[in-house]
Structure formats: structure tokens, C-alpha cells
Structure 1
Amino acid sequence: MAHSADHAIWADHAIWWHVYPLGFTGAPPRALPAGSPPEHRLGRLAGWLDYAVELGCSGLLLGPVFASETHGYDTTDHFRIDPRLGDDADFDRLVAAARDRGMRIVLDGVFNHVARGFGHPQWWRRDGDDFAVFEGHRHLVALDHANPAVADHVERVMNHWLGRGVDGWRLDAAYAVPPEFWARVLPGVRRQYPGAWFLGEVLHGDYAGYVARSGLDSVTQYELWKAIWSSLHDGNFFELAWALKRHDELLASFVPQTFAGNHDVTRLASQLPDERHLAHALAVLFTVGGVPSVYYGDEQAFRGIKEHRAGGDDEIRPEFPADPAELAPYGWPVYRLHQRLIGLRRRNAWLVRARTSVEHLTNREMALRSRSGDDEILTLLNTGDEPRRFPVRIDGLRVLDSSSPGGQEPWPTVPAHGWAIFGR
């Protein structure tokens, strides 16, 4: 079942601010000792909602908030807020604060695996004489998705938090879960909460097939994420052109969730050898189809390298200061660039389902035309060392934004390492 017209229409207008709460709020790396009073950190996140709204975001895509042993993806109780973050009252205040600002909230549901401290070993999947584990992590035990009790548990968890005011679920490691499991669970949840939105974490493979078999609304568009930074890193827009052709085909059946960074990958600012090209990545993200998200800190050009070792995610999941006034001054121009491009996206909400064609292509030059009906946006990217005149049609279009706003370039000439976006 692909995205149908009767549910989650609001997601067409969503721009997510993606936050990893344990890192953001400076929570300790391990669960509090049993019996410890909760530490009320979620209020710190509530204090940043105005910043997210001013950025242009309309929703919070939250990392794990449930009781866990360490990083949040080793859940011990899906019905309990992690005491390192607070308690039910703290969560309710965060939901209310988001509601007051017209913001949606999507929670991270880790339903592929649990911590060994989760209990219910009768729900765990066996692998020979032992229990199956997630990707070699002995402390992450795989749930048995063929067991009806597991499906019943997941449905109850989803309904519980949707009833508490959230709007949807990001399903962690969905790629490791048989799509038929979601097809069993989601119809009952949708009957109770027809407006809920369901996003699956899928890294590669047949995205459209997974959506069709699972009944999810969307999956993470890792192919496009990889092509955006990699094409800029290598000076090879042919990679991005190939990924956009694939992206276009996906949009025929569902709307992918698009991003230039998240909690699992090296920061965009650390991937690019030339910081001027950060803008080119964002210009692509916000002018092609999809439901975009901004990973907290990326809007300030935070840096951070993902490393494959214990604690290797710490650098990309940092603590935020008490309030925006404490952020470093050099990040604010990138914040303002995000504001401009998100604003352009919101004024052209039709882009969510737009099809994009590549009209001019070299290693370091690219012209993208995104269309839906009579609407169109033309994005010109030049990462070369010389100004370039693009052989494209711009009649009837005006400059909506560019690397030199207010500049009087004889369009469609784009300066060295520059970009321009045209529309009606």
C-alpha cells in the first residue's frame, strides 16, 4: 500500500529539525542507577523550539526518548521516558510547547531489537542455540517479528504515544525487519490514528518495494544523501545526476524522506573539502522532491566525524548550549542560508512531489529543473573555478535566491563556486 490520500497529508508540508535528545541535552552515557530520581533535561529541548521555528522547521524528528541502557537504541522500556531525559510530565510539556508553535513530533521507535535488560526473552528471535543479535552487537537482541505478541506490543506502544500527542514514528533499522511485520501492525494503528505518519530507516535496496509491502509512508533516502555530499567532495555531478534519476522514479509511488545529515553519519561540513559548497548541497536538498530534514547543528555548520568504534558517534551527537546566544558566531551565516532556502521551499510547497530533470551536466556544473504541473524551479550549480554561462532556458523565470543575492550577473551566468535558483 503506497501513500494514500487519506492519511498524513500534513507530512507534505513538513520540514523536520532532527534532534538526538540524549546528546543534545548532555545526558550521561549510561542509564541512571535503579531508583534514581529523573533528571529533567527535556525542558532544555523545549527551550530551542523557537529557534527551530525561526529556522523554518515545522516539526521535531526526535531520536530515542525511551528508557535504555546507553545510547537510546538499546531500549529497556518502550512505555517509559528515559530518566536521564525526565519523566512523563516533561514529555507532555515538550509536546504542548511544540503544539503551541504548530510543530509536529515524530518519535524514534526501536522495534527491531532491544537491550538484554528489556526482559521478555520469549519475544527474542533464536539463532541456533543462542538469541539473534543486531549487526554483531551482543547487547542488542533481535525481536522475533514472527511472534504475534511482538506485533501486539509494538502496536500498543505506537498507540500509547500517539495518544499522548505525537504525530508519527521513525522506525529504526526498518531494513532489518520483514516489511510484512509493519503490514500487520500499521492497519490497526491507522484505524485509531488515521493522521499518523510512518517513516522507515532503510539504507539501500528496493525502497519502493519496501514501502509497497510494508505500508509505510516513507523511507530514508540514503542514496540521495550519499550522492549529494560525494558528488561535491569528488567534483563529479554525474553521480548526483544518476541518484536524481533514481529519486524521480521513487516519487512515482511515495515521497522519500530526504536529508544532508543525520545522527549516524559524518557531518556535511566535515565531508566537503570546500565550505562554499555547503550551499550547493542545500540548494539540491530544498529544490527536489521529498520530505526534508535538517540535523541539529548542521544549520550552524557543525563539524563531526563518525568513527566505527565504541563512542564513535559522540562527535556527531553533541550537546547544545543552554540557549542560542551561546552558539559560536561563525555558524550564523549558515543558519541564515538555511532560513532562506527553507523559506523558498515553503513558498513552493509543491516541490514535495516535484519531478526533477537534469538539463545541463559536467563534472562541476549542473542545471536541475524541478516541475509539477505549471510550477517550476531551476537550480544552477557551479563548483568550478571560473564563471559559467549555462545553456538553459530561463524565460519567464526570475532569480529567487543565489550565492550573490542582489548581484547583477547576466543570467544564466553563475560565478565560480556559485549557485542560483530561479522560479516564477
Structure 2
Amino acid sequence: MASRPRAQRSPDRFADYRPETQRRIAAARPAIRLAWIAGSLFAERGFGATSIRDIAAAAGVAPSSVYSHYPSKDALLVAYLNESHEAAASLLRTQMLENATRPPADQVAALVAFATQRFLTNPGSSVLSRAELRRASPESTAIARRMRADSAEFLAGVIRRGHASRELHAPEPPDRLAITLLSTARQAAPWLQRWPLAPVDVIADALGEFSRRIVVSSTRVDAAPLPRLSGRPGTSTRERILRAATDHFANSGYTSGSLRDIANSVGIRPPSIYEHYASKDHVLAAVVELVVGWRVDAADRATSRSGDHDVVDVVVDLLRDLVGISVVAPEPSIAVDAEFDHLPASLATPLANRHRWMVETLAGLVREGRAAGRFHYAEPTPVVVFGVLAIAMQAAWLVLEDPRLDPAGLVADSVSYALRVLVTD
């Protein structure tokens, strides 16, 4: 995790989109093109930080022209999501047809690689379907859920056919497995911004290959008790501020509100926050420090055990802790992974260095397992660790998107998927 500015669009804000999507936008009516422009701005700046005036300026029209097509910013988001959904469905159908004669494992790899590349090159596909939609209207959220469900159904259908032909051996239900694979692909977008270790096509192909290993393998780990997280916010005013800020950043985003909103949630006057935190940046830094501390503690425990235990067992326990943190504390985990880039370098750098140590600890254990012949992979270790962590961290989103999920079962599933990336049957 490193502090990086949010990605900025080139003068042609659709230059990174796939050619089919570019042609669709170029042929669109002015109102629909406005929706695409709005979607790209929401992804780049955040829904709350983008105004109708910003959208009009990017489109080269007056704000009144925007209002002649859409009554509100939310209506623009709804229109963008509908257009994006139709474009994605068309592209997925094309991918399905192009790969229809290939074995199911190859189809899974191709579809996940395609989805990953789309998320990485079009941030709106990732950001707006997750963090930004948590602060939009119920209608927008419903469209986003339909988008995710439709995309997952394409992939789940392939997995079902692979199960029926006994070419795929993953024991998890196809629907749940498909959702997790696509959720991991979405998680790759913010992680690659902070950890630019390889070109987009390399990461996309790697996540496709990792998905292949996940669906062809039946390797499983048992469920285990969820981790106990020390230092969770208590009842003091400072801790209540931290807890309210965590919920605010996870659900509304860093840019969408103010310390006044956080103070109102706590039931104190806004100036009282300054008795505990110097600024909103410092509140976010406290949230990040909490989660980074939990992750570093997990790496510390793994390091202390690494000389006396089997390396596979040590990696499994570390991954159980990392996934467990995401599952037990999804709001702070999401606040960190979605909002970290807003921290100034003076606050971000020491936290990023601590988080990097956790990543390097996992990478060292993975290399050790590979040298001992326990792990088998052809990709560079940093790329493999990137994929494993994307699997681990995406669990926080799954918990919030479907509260019915069994937390211990979700941890066991996620660790099993990560282990299949490292170990083949």
C-alpha cells in the first residue's frame, strides 16, 4: 500500500475503454454521452465530490443543458449504470461466444481475465459498483446489484457445466464461487493503484490463471475461530469519534462529508473533535492505523511461528487472520482500502511502510514454501501475493453486500481459494 494520487483521465476520457465501448459512446445520443461522462467523473473524483457544474464543464455544455436531460446527479448515475450494464453484458456475451468451444477451466480463466482488465482500465466498473454506490440512491444500488448478479450468472453457468462434465472440482456452490472470483477482480483495481507491480494485462491474465486453479482444485481448509481484534473503539469520546468516522468513511466516503457529520453522529459539537484529532485527515489516519495494526500483528504472529511450524500451516494461519480481519471488521477494512489515497504523504508514508512490511512477510513465507516444494506457481511471487491478498481483502465487501453469509465459512472459503492459487491438487 503506497500513497498515490487517484488516476486521472486523459484528454479523451474514454481512451482506455475497450474499442467496442468507445464506439458505443461515440454513437450515443447527447443525453447518453452525458451519462458516460458523468460516470467517468464519479469514478475519478467520487460521487459526492462531483457536481453538475463539473459534468457540464467536462462535456463542454452549460449546466442548464445537463438539467434539460436529467433532473439530478443521481439520475445521471442511474443512466450511466444502465448504459454500463448493457455494454458489459454485450461484451460478456461476446466473450462467451468466442470461448464457447474451450474447456470450462479455460472459459473461467478467460472471463475473469476479461472482467479484471475491464475493471482495471475502466475504474467506474469497479469504484461505482462498490464504494460510490454505498452513498447513492436505492435505485442506483438496485441497478448495481443487478449488474453484479448478471455478470456472476455468466460465470456461474460455466462453472455449473464444468461440474456436470466433472472437469471442475471446486466444491463450493457455483453462484457463490462466481461472485467471489468477480469480487476479487474488482478488488484488484484499487490495489493495483497502490501497488503498481505489473502492467494491467499481466495482472488480468494472472487473475484469470488463479481463477482456473481455484475452480479445478478441491483443496480445502477447515473453519477456525474468528480472530479477536485488540484495540477496537470503545466508549470514550475519542473512540466514539473513531467508530463514527469509520462508518462514515465506509458508507459515505471521505470526500462526501465533513467533521460536522461525524460530530452529529457522535452527538457532540464539531469543535469538540479538534480536542482529539487535528483534522479529518488525522481521523482517517487513525482508522488506517487501526486496520494496519491488526494486519501487522497477524504478520508478527506468523513470523514468530515460521521457524517451528510447517510453512503451509503458517501461511494458512496468516491468511485466516487477514481474511478474518476483513470479515470481523468490514467497515474499517473498506474505509482503509477505499479511502487511503486521500491521506497526505506525511500521514500516509509511515502507515504504508508498515503495511508493506506485512505484504513482504507474506511474500517471504510464500517464497519459502516454493523453495521447499510445497507451493507451485510460475508467476513472479509479487504477482501471486497480489492475487492472494485481493482474495483476502475482498471478503469485507461480501460481508456487507450479503449479511446472511456465515463469517467463519466465508473465511474458510477465501483461505481455500488463496491456497489453491499456491498449491495444486
Specify the TM-score bucket, using the shorter chain as the normaliser. under 0.3
Give the strand-richer structure, 1 or 2: 1
Q: TM-score, with normalisation over the residues of structure 1? A: 0.26
Q: TM-score, with normalisation over the residues of structure 2? A: 0.26
